[in-house]
Structure formats: structure tokens, C-alpha cells
Structure 1
Amino acid sequence: MFKIDNQVVPYSDPWNIPLSERIRMLVAGRQKVAYFYEAPNNSTFRYRAYNMVQVLNDGKSRDVSASFFFLEDWARIDEVVDYADVLVICRSRYSNRINQLVMKFRVQGKRVLFDIDDFVFDSSYAHLIMSTLDQDASDPDRLDYWFSYIGRLGGTLNLCDGAITTNQYLAKKIANFSGLPVSVVPNFMNKEQVSYSDDLFRGKEMSGFARDDKIHLGYFSGSPSHKLDYAIIEPALEEILEIDPRVEVMVVGYIESGPNLKKFGNRVTRQPFQDYVNLQRVISSVEFNLMPLQANDFTNCKSELKYFEAAVVGAVSIASPSYTYAAAIHDGENGYIARAHEWLSVIKEAIEDTSRYRRITENAREDARAKYAWFNQRENILEALHLE
């Protein structure tokens, strides 16, 4: 484990801004973009609305301005409609108010786009999605929930003039379902993430990448829905812990480490869910970041965020060969790829491949900052919005 001297940073959600201030943000530029999400959260909203607004508002010319709004802002939604030139609805379920919002923009001849980061809009894939997420498809209540959730997202998508998403695999799914034009803007790190991550990496460099005599494998989960993904690597973790006394495992987030690992005592630790800034500190402490995924159409639509969040702080990723992971990671150059039956052998290879570790971390960090940092996204976002 790396010795990290950086302190935990004070955190509060940076999007907790009064509505009056968010309206002022919207009207500051010549071309105005309103992002709409049902209610703010630390995942989809952050990546697909907050981060986009942050980049658009960073432009010094003020040609474009942007802000974000929620259902709770409905009392002043007509002001948003009048001011904004483009509406981007982010992963919001169809409702009477969503329909009204779209119609208000249409009456004024304004463009409406739908941004979605997951394959959850086509109910013909509901059973696959439920199976992947370990949902009980024999439970009528769960079936009602998932068919409603997916169908309502598909309903909102079909109201819009175009779509924006995170990768080409998901873009093709959206186009096939809706017949709409689709643009790709990848998930990326915002200013706070990049700044703190840079500090963490500089600290590791200044210490000569000082570490103890243990090798930590980290699994980081932002939701409890990854239980079956984690199950892919659990047997490999059990075996590597058996054969290599240097290895320890850290499980962070909503997933339990599993009963088979309890026998290893304090060599297996669990940490609670972290805010997205301080998560970077926890990731930076481990040598390897494990990214298992089941292999199907749903998981192939997942973004690369677990890769670049680790890469930017100098943790090497070992990943399943999903569409986005295999495209982002070049095996042995900026990480490692492991098919389902290869996890043990690839973990062993990565641990023993000490001569290439520093080079791999540097390649991955350079790649993450070049492709997935906020300061390289503006032109891509403007193109997706059809703004100059």
C-alpha cells in the first residue's frame, strides 16, 4: 500500500446552489444551455449535468453559459424555458411535467436533447438488465418497477430531437431504439477531481512512491448493483490471498467482501462509500484497481470512469474486456485485461511485473488526463449540443 500523506479534504456537494444563482448562471452567456435532472445525486447527475455545466461556464468569452435544474424548481420553470436556447434532459423518467417541459421548448422552436449514461431505455432488455443486477425477475413488484423505470426513460428519449451518451456501443443502442441522431461525450473528471488527484500523484512522486511491504488490491463500488460483477473475482482473490502473504484486499462502497474471505481476517478490509473527491485518496493508496464486469450488452454500455479515476492517481487497473474497458486499456501498457477465467493468472502477472509498474502508471495517468479531464472536453460538448 502506498503511503499517502495528503489529508482528507472537507467536502460538501458543490451543486447545492440557490435557484436564483443557477438562473444567473444560465443567462450569463450569448447561447444558453439548460440541463434538467429529476434530483441531484453523486453519480449520473454529477457526470452528465454538473460536469458539463462546469466546463461550459469556464469559457472566457462567455459565448455559451449553462446551468442545471430539477423538478423541485418547477415553480420557475417558465423562466428557464424563456432564457435557454437548448434543453438537455438527463436520464429523467417520463412524467406529465417532463412532457410539459419538452412541449414548452418545442412551442418556442428550441432543441431538446436526451442524455443517458446506461442501457436502461429499451424494455425488451429488461430481463437481461435485472439478471445482471441480481434482481429477482420472479417478483412481480420488481418486474413492475424495472419495466416502468426502463419504459419511462425510453418514453422521454422518444420525445427528444437527439441524444448524447458516453460511448459508441451505447450510442448504437440508442440509435437503433429511437432512430435519433446520437453524439458521444465521455464521462470525465471535473475540476475538483483533477486538482486533488494531481496533488495526490505529486505526493506519491515526491515520496518516491513510498509504500509498505504489502500489495493492495482494491475494489471500488458506487452502488450495491455490482454484486455479480464482484463475484467474478472473489475466487481469484481467495486463492491469491492463500498463496501470497504480501497481498491484502480493500473493498470500498456498497459491496461486502464475501464470506470466503473472512478467514483472512484483517488482510481483507472494507471501507464505506466515499464522496467523489476523497474517493481519489483511497484509490491512490492501492497498487491495483480491480474492474470486473459480466459480459453482455448491458455491461458493454458501461463507461470507463473506474479506469480513469484510478489512472489519474497512479493505481493500475485490471479489467474485464468489456467494450469500453478493452478500448481504454491496452494490455500491459496502461493496465491489464483479464477474461473471466484469467483473473488469478493476470493478478499474479501484474504483481510480479514490477519492472513495468511505474511505466504503466505513468502511461495510464497521461492517458486519463488527456482523454478524461475537464479541460479537454469543451469542443466535444459544444459539438454534441450543435453550438459553435
Structure 2
Amino acid sequence: MFALQTPPVPYADPWLQPLSTRLAMLYRRKMRVAYFYEEPNNSTFRYRAYNMAHVLNDDAAGHVSASYFFLSDSERFDEIADAADLLVICRSRYCHRVNGLVTKFRARRKRVLFDVDDLVFDSDYAHLVVATLGLDVTQNGLWDDWFAMIARMGQTLKLCDGAITTNDFLAQKLADYSGLPVHVVPNFMNREQLALAQSVFAEKERARFAGNGKVTLGYFSGSPSHRLDYAIVESALAEVLALRPEAEVMVVGYIDHGPVMREFAHRVSRQPFHDYVNLQRLLGTVQFNLMPLQSNAFTDCKSELKYFEAASVGTLSIASPSFTYRRAIRDGENGYLAKAHEWAEVILRAMDRSDAYESMAQEARSDALSKFGWQEQTGAVLRALQLAR
């Protein structure tokens, strides 16, 4: 473990601004983009609306301003449609208010785009999504809920002129389903994340990545739905803990252990869910960030975010070779790849290459900043919006 002295930072959701402030953001420039999400959160909304708007607004030489709006703003939808030149609807389910917002933009002869970060718009994949998330299929209403949610998402997509998504695999699924033009803008880190990440990385670099003698393997779960992903690596963790007394495990979030880990309970620490900024500090304390994924079309649509958030603080990732992970990670150079049966072997190999850790961590951070830092995304965002000069 890296015993960091960098303190946590005070946090409050930066997007919780009154409508008047968000409208003022929109009016700053002549070309204006309105992002829409049902209600703000620190996951999809942050990546696909908040971050996008701030990239556009922080471009000092730019000609485009942007802001974000929610269902709670519905009484002012006419004003938003008058002010904005383009609407981007982010992963929102069809309803009368969403349809009304689209209709207002259409009546003003303005374009509407759909942005989505998961395979949740084509009901042909509903069974795969439910299975991958490990949901209880005997629960009353489960199939109604999931088929309805996905179908409503697909209906919103059908109202739009084009789509934006996070990677080429998901882009092809979108194009196949909708027949619409699709552009890719990756998920990326924002200014708040990178400010703390810089402090964490600088501290680790000054210490030449010296830990406290323990090698911490971290699993960072955003929700209980990752239970089956964690199960892929759990037996390997037990094997590594049995072989290496210096190894320990940190689990962050909502995952419960199975019986195979009981004898090692004293070497497993748990951390609660963290806000996305201070999560960077916690990521920086572990040597290895574990990213197991089941292998299917749904998981191949997942973005690189777990890789680049860890890389930004100089923490190496060990990942399943999904579509995005095997493109982001060059095995043995900026991280490691492990097939389902290889996890114990790859973790042990990574631990045995401690002499390469510093150079690999530096390479991973450099790679993450160049591809997934907010400062590098202006061109991709403008091209996706078809607003590039």
C-alpha cells in the first residue's frame, strides 16, 4: 500500500446550480449546446453531459458554449429550445416530457443528438444485460422493468438525428440498431479529478513509488451489479493471499465476499462508496487496480474509465481483455491483461515485477492524460456535434 499524506479534499456536487446559472452558461457564446439528462448523478451525467459542457466552455478560443438541463426544468423547455442551437439527450428514457423537449427543438428546425454509454437501447439485448448484472429473474416485474427501460431508451434514440457514444464497439451497435450516423467521444477525466490526481501522483513519484511493505490489490465497485465480475477474480485473490503474505485486498463499494475469502478476512479491508474526486486519492493508495469483466457484447461496450482513473494517480491496472481494455492496456507496458483462467498467474507476475512498477506507472499516467484528459477532448466533442470549424 502507498501510505499517502495527500489529504482528502472538501467535496460538493459541482453541477448543483440553479437554472438561472445554467442558462447563463448557455448564453455565453453565439453557438450553444444544451445537454439533457433526466436528473444529475455522478456517473453517466457527469461523464456525458457535465464533462462535455465544461470542455466546450473552458475552450478560451472556442465559439461554442454549453450547459445542462433536467426533467425538473421542464417548465422552461421553451426558453431552452429558443436559446440553444443543438440538443444532446444523454441516456434518457422516452416520456411525454422528453418527447415535448425534442418536439420544441424540431419545431425550431434544430438538430437533436442522442448520447449513450451502455448497450441499453436495443431490447434484443435485454436478456444479456439482466444475466450480466446477475439480477434475480424470479423477481416480480423484473422483465417488465428492464424491457420497458431499454425500449424507452431506444424510442428516444429514434427521435434523434444522430448519436454519440464512448467507443467503436458500442458505436457499431448503435449504427446497426438505428441506422443513424454515430460519433465517438470517449469518457474522460475532468478538471476536479485531475487536480487531486496530480497531487497524489506527485507524492508517489517523490517517494519513488515506495510502499509500506504490503502489496494492496484493489477492487473498486460502483454498484452491487458487479457481483459476477468480482466472482471472476475472487478465487485468484484467495490463491494469491495464500501464497504471498505481503498481499492484501481492498474492496471499495458494494461487493460481498464469498466463502473462499473467509480465512483471509483479516487481510481484506473495506471502504465505503467515495465521491468521484476523493476516489482518486483512494485509487492512489493501492498498487494494483483489478478490473475483471465477464466476456460478452454488453461488457465489450464498457468504457476505459476504470483504467484511466487509476492510471492518472500512478496505479497499475490488471484487466480482463474486453474490447476497450485490450486497446487501452499494452500488457506489461502500462498495465496487465488477464483472461478468466489467468488471474492468479498474472497478479503474481505483476507482483514479481516490482522493479518495473515506477516506469510502467509513469507510462500509464502519460497515456491516460494524453487520451482521456479533459484538455485533449475539444476536437472530438466538436466533431461529434458537427460544430468543428
Q: TM-score, normalised by structure 2?
A: 0.98
In structure 2, the partner of 1:355 is: 355
TM-fit CA distance, 1:265: 2.9
1:241 matched to which residue of 2?
241
- Once the two structures are superposed, the pairs formed by residues 64-79 of structure 1 within 5 Å of their partners are 64-79=64-79
What residue is the counterpart of 1:311 in the other structure? 311
Moved more, 259-268 or 212-221: 259-268
3-state DSSP of counterpart to 2:73:
helix
Alpha-carbon distance, 1:233 to partner:
0.2
Query: Alpha-carbon deviation of 1:137?
Result: 2.7
Looking at structure 2, the residues matched to 362 and 9 of structure 1 have their Cα atoms a distance apart, in angstroms, of 24
Q: After the TM superposition, which residues 1-388 of structure 1 pair with which residues of structure 2 at under 5 Å, given as runs?
A: 1-388=1-388
Contact 1:33 1:84 in 2 (8 A): yes
**How far does residue 354 in structure 1 lie from its aligned partner after superposition?**
1.5
SS of 1:249's partner is strand
Q: Could you say what secondary structure the match of 1:273 adopts?
A: coil
1:296-328 CA deviation, whole Å, 9 max, x = no partner?
000000000000000010111000000000010
Structure 2 unaligned residues grouped into runs of 5+: none
| Mapped partners of 1:86, 1:343: distance in 2 | 46
Deviations 1:15-70 (A, max 9, x none): 01010000000011110000000000010000000000111000213511000000
CA contact (8 A) 1:251 1:257 kept: no
Distance in 2 (CA, whole Å) between partners of 1:282 and 1:133 is 25
Partner of 2:112, secondary structure, is: strand
Q: Aligned to 2:216, what secondary structure does the other structure show?
A: strand
**Is the CA contact (8 Å cut-off) linking 1:3 and 1:210 kept in structure 2?**
no
Cα pair 2:208 2:358 within 8 Å, conserved: no
Amino acid in structure 1 at the alignment position of 2:338: A
Matched AA of 1:120: V
CA RMSD for the aligned pairs? Answer: 0.9
Residues 219-241 of structure 1: per-residue CA shift (max 9 Å, x gap)? 00111110000000000001111
Structure 1 residue 355: Cα displacement:
2.0
* Cα distance in structure 2, aligned partners of 1:327 and 1:287: 22
Q: CA deviation at 1:208?
A: 2.7
Q: Is the 8 A contact 2:200 2:281 kept in 1?
A: yes
Q: CA–CA distance in 1 between the matches of 2:30 and 2:351?
A: 53
What per-residue deviation string (whole Å, max 9, x for no partner) do you get for residues 151-172 of structure 1? 0000100110000000000000
Q: How many residues align?
A: 388
Shift of 1:207: 2.4
Q: Is the 8 A contact 2:114 2:160 kept in 1?
A: yes
Distance 1:265 1:140, change over 3 A: closer
Give the secondary-structure state (helix, strand or coil) at the position aligned to 2:375. helix
* Local SS of the residue matching 1:68: strand
Q: What SS does structure 2 have at the residue aligned with 1:255?
A: coil
Residues 257, 270 of structure 1: 8 Å contact kept: no
Identify the range of structure 1 (97-106 vs 133-142) with the bigger mean alpha-carbon deviation: 133-142
Asked if the contact 2:32–2:66 (Cα under 8 Å) also holds between the matched residues in 1, the reply is yes
1:195 positional shift: 1.0
Checking the alignment, whether the CA contact within 8 Å between 1:257 and 1:268 is kept in structure 2 is no
Partner AA of 1:329 in structure 2: I
Q: Distance in 2 between matches of 1:82 and 1:248?
A: 56
CA distance in 2, matches of 1:120, 1:13: 26
Distance 1:107 1:98 in 2: 14
1:89-123 CA deviation, whole Å, 9 max, x = no partner? Answer: 00000001111111110111100000000001110
Is the contact made by 1:217 and 1:287 (CA closer than 8 Å) also made in structure 2? yes
User: Amino acid of the residue matched to residue 247 of structure 1?
Assistant: A
SS in 2 for 1:218: strand
Question: Following superposition, which runs of at least 4 residues in structure 1 exceed 4 angstroms of deviation?
Answer: none
Cα drift, residue 140 of structure 1: 4.3
Q: Residue type matched to 2:252 in 1?
A: V
Taking the aligned partners of 2:137 and 2:157, their CA distance within structure 1 comes to 25
Equivalents in 2 of 1:199, 1:355: separation in Å? 23
Deviation at 1:205, TM superposition (A): 1.4
The answer (yes or no) to whether the contact 2:209–2:358 under 8 Å persists in 1 is no
AA in 2 matched with 1:183: H
